[in-house]
Amino acid sequence: MKKKLQFQVSINAPVGRVYDAMLGLSDKSTYEQWTALFNPTSTYEGSWDKGNKMLFLGVDDQGEKGGMVSQIAENIPNQFVSIQHVGLLQAGKEIMEGPDVEQWANGFENYTFTEADGRTTIMVELDATEDFSAYMNETYPGALEKLKAICEQPS
């Protein structure tokens, strides 16, 4: 059973800068820094363009590369990004069916960006399984605070 989770952060920076840093567009390390709270080796392979496949990756305790196989369902620059999770990557292989995938399949992670008076608010909405919700509720706010710190650094 999936639950919808919501997280929000307000960042004292223009939306273009926040969008760029969150997705790691001009410097992938900004993405890797804020997502390191989920996995210290967190990264991605692919493109943020609508319709493209994206692998969200990290190395697990056994040194195996794994993560999510996703598709960019929508990307309206500086406004909205929707990621649809379609499978898992385990030990370098894409797994598109089975019980582990079924709990995630067609789950979405959506980012909505709103700017007012030079401040940007990001609303994150995601589908999470019951047992993953507690982890996300604990980890996501800290990750967004990290993103806020990155965006608010003087350039």
pLDDT digits (tens, 9 = 90+) for 56-108: 999 988 888 899 999 999 999 999 999 999 999 988 889 999 887 887 778 99
Query: What single string gives the DSSP state of each residue in 19-46?
Result: HHHHHTSS-HHHHHHHHTTT-TT-EEEE
Cα 109 from Cα 135, distance rounded (Å): 15
123 residue type, one letter: M
The reported pTM is 0.93
| Alpha-carbon dihedral angle through residues 52, 14, 29, 137, given to the nearest 10 degrees | -80
Cα 63 from Cα 33, distance rounded (Å): 20
Looking up tokens 């990621």 gives 83
pLDDT digits (tens, 9 = 90+) for 95-149: 999 887 887 778 999 999 999 999 999 999 999 888 888 999 999 999 999 999 9
Cα 52 from Cα 101, distance rounded (Å): 19
